[in-house]
Amino acid sequence: MAFDAVRGQPAAVDVLTRALASGRVAHAYAFVGPPGVGRKLTAMAFAKSLLCPSAGCEQCPACRKIEAGIHPDFMLIAPTFPEGKTSGTPLIRIEAIRQLEQRAALRPAESAWKVFIVDDAGRMTAEAPQAFLKTLEEPPARTVIILILTQTRELPATVLSRCQVVRFMPLHEEEAVALLQSRGMDEGTARLLARASQGRPGLALALDPAAWLERRELALSILAEVGADGAAALFKWSDTLGRDRGQIEQLLETWWLWYRDLLCAKASGDPRLLIHGDRAAELAQSAAGRSWEEIVAGLAACREAWQALQRNVSPRLTLEVMLSRLALGAA
């Protein structure tokens, strides 16, 4: 049935299947958890369970129309670029919320329910939650709204308090590996990406494995080069990458996981604990040449750089500070 495709989220699936079985379906849900663990897949399955005459068969016209986004009682809202543009910050705009309001006020056209999914609901523009609150305060009959969030604090408490919160967790490694293998990855790649995505297989599926390996090579070669050539290499890389916040976030994650592995390598040497298990020998050698303090300071540098980016410090400055801490050993 509809929830069969959802892996590794027994608690969330249990809450939803019990609501369906008892007929006590909430007006609004907040699906909260990290990206790539199946929040949207579960929301789609819930929508099919409500709108399909056979409780989410995946075969009938209703299920197919939901999947294609053309069911009259279903609407999926996601962040969009500013009107008429193909770049910029994707946001959930007030026009989309107004459209949701209008559609929610109508009677269901083909099914017993209407279902609205707001993906990345934390990316609402400033005025959108207020507009949205009206619909939540006086929920139209037979209407279910599902907000997909990473953290509850992404939305005002006034909005969240009107939703039933359903939590989603990262998958266990074996579940993530099995899922990636079922999508055609060989076991070695599936394990590497299951670990690197830290139980968020949706992120691993969005990655091209070759591109991921290339990114790792780039991250490690930057560290090595700055370590060997000092400030000259540091400024070369901050000139090259300093404007690209997305790429710096990806490099940061790679460095963070590398230092995490150094810590594991120094503590136990058991390659099964490593994310970069295919580079166990290199990690062991690198860990042996570093003190505990040095490795822990590297992890702290990565974490603080991440926090700086979240606080909108310029990517270039963040990169320069972090590389000087990681590769030059500067405090």
Residues of this chain that bind Zn ion (CB under 5 A): 52, 57, 60, 63
Residue nearest to Zn ion (CB): 52
Nearer to Zn ion, 75 or 264 (CB): 75
Nearer to Zn ion, 52 or 166 (CB): 52
What is the closest distance, in whole angstroms, from the C-beta atom of residue 61 to Zn ion in the complex? Answer: 8
User: For the purposes of burial, counting CB atoms within 10 Å of the CB of 20, is it exposed (0-12), middle (13-18) or buried (19 or more)?
Assistant: middle
Partners of 145 in the beta sheet?
28, 116
114 close to 103: Cβ distance less than 8 angstroms? yes
Nearer to Zn ion, 4 or 217 (CB): 4
For 37, 40, 191, the CA distances from 94, given in Å and listed in that order, are 28, 21, 42
What is the closest distance, in whole angstroms, from the C-beta atom of residue 22 to Zn ion in the complex? Answer: 21
What is the closest distance, in whole angstroms, from the C-beta atom of residue 44 to Zn ion in the complex? Answer: 12
Copy the structure tokens of residue 219.
């991250």
What is the closest distance, in whole angstroms, from the C-beta atom of residue 4 to Zn ion in the complex? Answer: 13
Distance CA 90, CA 84 (A): 12
Nearer to Zn ion, 37 or 144 (CB): 144
Nearer to Zn ion, 115 or 185 (CB): 115
Nearer to Zn ion, 73 or 154 (CB): 73
For 11, 34, 248, 277, the CA distances from 220, given in Å and listed in that order, are 39, 26, 13, 15
For 69, 111, 224, the CA distances from 115, given in Å and listed in that order, are 11, 10, 52
Return the residue matching tokens 């702290």: 300
What is the closest distance, in whole angstroms, from the C-beta atom of residue 39 to Zn ion in the complex? Answer: 21
What is the closest distance, in whole angstroms, from the C-beta atom of residue 109 to Zn ion in the complex? Answer: 16
